[in-house]
Amino acid sequence: MSLELEQIHEDMLNAIHDRYQKTLGFPAYDFTRAFALAVLSLDGDVEVAERRLNVENLTGQELDLFIFQHRGLSRRYATYATATLRVVTGSGTIQAGALFSTASGVEFYATTDGSYTEGDTFPVRAYLAGESGNVEAGTITYMPVAIAGIAAVTNDAPATGGYDEESDDELRERYYNDLRNPNNGGNQQAYIAWALSVPGVGRVRIFPQALGANTVEVCIVDATMEAADSSLISQVQELIDPNNNGDGAGEAPIGAVATVTTAAEVAISASATIVLAEEADLGTVTEAVKTNLTEYLREIAFAEGTTYVSYAQLSSVVSSTEGVLDQSGLQVNGGSVNIPLTDRQVPVLGEVSLTT
């Protein structure tokens, strides 16, 4: 409904008997004009209220509130990546809050106080939440502020556990999924909903009685659609069946022994000969191809009905990447056929080699 001020006012004046003077400056005109303005304002409020009844029109906190009130679902917040640093050279005291970073400027800070010498390790946490903190091994080597006695540090393993906040679209899709697949407290959808409520969980598959009678295997991948780390697995286990014995201490009903596992990664490597567009750079195009292939693999990873990685789709992704005019001889894991996936496997991008 959308009303116009003049039309509202005219309708009001038409409802008044013609024996009254209804022109500008007379009481009938002035009083109805004021009421028309109030009705127009109320119409705007009604239109806003109507829009808020449709979850597709909501964003941010309004979306959070609507979904929580209707389904009890909360947005999954962003999490911070963590890592372990090793003192490579020197010895000294490192206080909680001491900064370390990568060459690209991804910052971490020490989470504990301690005195360390060469070979000792200590925990650090990403300064900013999100996937940006999941840096590779050997990259956290800079100290923005010098630490007396400590000359060099490094991370021998990648930083993990950083996940972006659930987007509006992702939260809305989880809401729709919950509507389409009701959670009765013990069916497969219940276990899926519990697992997905944990920040960092991307997708879930349930395998009833996989480990024997009265057992449930909850197989998860993380938000990057890769194998979940031990910390994320433990968080989901703690929520669903913390003692892993079906005692009902978690969300799972008494008698249901739930075990949380993660998928096995299947590396998908690709090589091809490409024809570059004019002025395109091979290095830049290769990175763009990697990004697009990663997006495709994340799209199909652990998705319902996915049983293979399509050779044709991979070829299409490479060909459609900006800067690629044509490609030939695409090899995927050394061949030119689809790559099969079992129920507990998830595809991740491996080595990508492009030549001209």
Q: Determine the pLDDT at residue 1.
A: 43
Does residue 106 sit in the same domain as residue 65?
Answer: no
Does residue 242 sit in the same domain as residue 324?
Answer: no
Does residue 288 sit in the same domain as residue 330?
Answer: yes
The DSSP annotation for 146-157 comes to: -BTTEEEEEESS
Does residue 347 sit in the same domain as residue 276?
Answer: yes
| Residue (of 133, 247, 239) closest to 190 by Cα position | 239
- Coil, helix or strand for 301? coil
Does residue 70 sit in the same domain as residue 86?
Answer: no
Does residue 139 sit in the same domain as residue 197?
Answer: no
Is the residue at 40 inside a domain? yes
Q: Determine the pLDDT at residue 113.
A: 96
Determine phi and psi for 270, rounding to 5 degrees: -145, 145
The total number of structural domains in the chain stands at: 5
Does residue 132 sit in the same domain as residue 120?
Answer: yes
Is the residue at 160 inside a domain? no
Is the residue at 161 inside a domain? no
Task: For the chain, give the longest Cα–Cα distance.
Answer: 101
Q: Determine the pLDDT at residue 45.
A: 67
Q: What is the residue range of 230's domain?
A: 181-262
Q: Determine the pLDDT at residue 46.
A: 73
Q: Determine the pLDDT at residue 44.
A: 66
Instruction: List all residues 6 or more positions away from 80 whose beta carbon is below 8 Å from its beta carbon.
Output: 125, 126, 128, 129, 133, 161, 162
Does residue 347 sit in the same domain as residue 272?
Answer: yes
**In the listed set 211, 241, 262, which residue is the last one of a domain according to the structure?**
262
Does residue 170 sit in the same domain as residue 72?
Answer: yes
Does residue 174 sit in the same domain as residue 185?
Answer: no
Does residue 254 sit in the same domain as residue 282?
Answer: no
Question: From the first residue on, what is the mean pLDDT of each consecutive set of 10 residues in the chain (356 residues)?
Answer: 73 83 82 80 72 88 94 94 97 97 97 96 97 96 96 96 94 93 89 95 96 96 95 97 96 96 98 94 96 97 95 96 95 96 97 96
Q: Determine the pLDDT at residue 3.
A: 66
- pLDDT per position as a tens digit, 159-218: 999 999 999 999 999 999 999 988 888 899 999 999 999 999 999 999 999 999 999 999
Q: Which amino acid is at 37?
A: L
- pLDDT per position as a tens digit, 297-327: 999 999 999 999 999 999 999 999 999 999 9
